[in-house]
Amino acid sequence: MNRVEVEKKVLSENDRIAADLRRRFKEHGVLCLNLISSPGAGKTSLLERTLEGFPSAERVALLTGDIQTDNDATRLARAGFPVKQITTGGACHLDARMIERALEGWRLEDLDLLLIENVGNLVCPSSYDLGEEAKIVVLSVAEGEDKPLKYPSIFFKSVLLVLNKVDLLPYVPFDIARAREYARRVHPGMEIVEVSCTTGQGLDDWRAWLEKRRAASRIKVTA
């Protein structure tokens, strides 16, 4: 069996498990979102600020993936919501089997929202369906505005672009208008929010997008 055949077999098995996860999420009314970015773009900070805005009774849980360490899970657990770390041990992405295993012991009927923080990488995670309702790509202004053109797959597959760390715009050579243009060149229908987890700028827009998505998900369940 050659490499292409092996990759197809792996992805086929992943898609089977992802389809089952998606069915289970839909059955229990859980909105699952998959956050993807380069290392250091600020996914964990965005999730921290997101959790800060939730009441303690919110039915939310998080899965966070890293090649090594449980640092992100430790940070996120401070908010008081259920968190599990998935340590891939070298793999540059999460896959559906990892999500399936991490959910063992959690009652999906007790959740409304599941947030997945993928491994920091713009390439490999784009190929793996995790059963999520939507992918979200996070791009910080400390990176190049041409990332959507360099890594088109993840921008094409993501419904939302979070342009993060906008408080740094006065200090870095990042053309935010061009970043938006490039993203929509790859994915014309892409929604975009601009945020700073340091100053709080734009976080209301992010939360509004999240609540809109949650409301739409609830309508689908009751329909």
List helix spans (H) across the chain: 3-28, 43-52, 71-77, 96-102, 147-150, 152-157, 176-186, 203-222
Cα 78 from Cα 98, distance rounded (Å): 23
pLDDT > 70 in the chain, percent: 93
- 20, 38, 27: which is closest to 151 by C-alpha? 38
Checking if the pLDDT of 1 tops 60, the result is no
Cα 144 from Cα 127, distance rounded (Å): 22
pLDDT, tens digit, for every residue of 2-12? 555 555 666 78
Checking if the pLDDT of 190 tops 70, the result is yes
* Domains, the chain, ordered by start: 3-215 (3.40.50.300)
Report yes or no: 203 and 174 within 8 Å, Cβ to Cβ.
no
Q: How does residue 212 score in pLDDT terms, banded at 50, 70 and 90?
A: very high
Edge to edge, what strands does the sheet with 31-37 contain?
83-87, 60-66, 113-117, 31-37, 134-140, 158-164, 191-194
